[in-house]
Amino acid sequence: MNDVDLNDLNALAFIGGGNMAIALISGLTQRGLSGARIAVADPLPQALERLQADYGIRPAADNISAVNGAQVVILAVKPQFLRAVAEGGAYIRAHPDQAWADFVKLYPNDENALNLAAWRFTIGCFAADPFVLDVAKYKSFAEFLVKWGVIAKALPVGEYAVQLR
């Protein structure tokens, strides 16, 4: 991840609203990132309600809505859910026009040139394979979190992330 100023981060998305997301969102909002800039998708309505009440996040109806237009997408899910995330991302990358058409069927009021452009941009944010551990990205993100005071120090990647395959 490149060095990013929190003020330059206009749209952040979390897939998953559990403990990992809560910890990161708490730290980011304590450091000045507005919860209104954070979209969260989670299958449990109570998780979204809690995050909205505590941090002012924007609850998303589904993963596609959460990531649409996001500059950064964080997969805050248990490893067993990554397979479905990987399959969904692969489908969207392989069939972007059909995926856009599916999105528009669900959200017809959002069909416009700006959202289509954001959709096409967002596809490039999907990890090609969320099962592959990209140590450099983890280190870079940890350094970003330290810089902004979200965490006190960057731990070795092996202490919090594992290769799943």
Give the rounded percent of residues in the chain with a pLDDT score beyond 70.
87
Highest mean pLDDT among 26-30, 80-84, 141-145, 161-165: 26-30
Question: How does pLDDT run across 38-89, given as a tens digit for each residue?
Answer: 999 999 999 999 999 999 999 998 888 888 878 888 888 887 777 777 788 8
Q: Is 164's pLDDT higher than 60?
A: no
- pLDDT attached to residue 46: 96
Task: Extract the tokens encoding 51.
Answer: 């995050």
Report pTM.
0.57
Write down the mean pLDDT value for the chain: 83
Q: Which domains does the chain have, with CATH numbers?
A: 6-159 (3.40.50)
- pLDDT attached to residue 130: 67
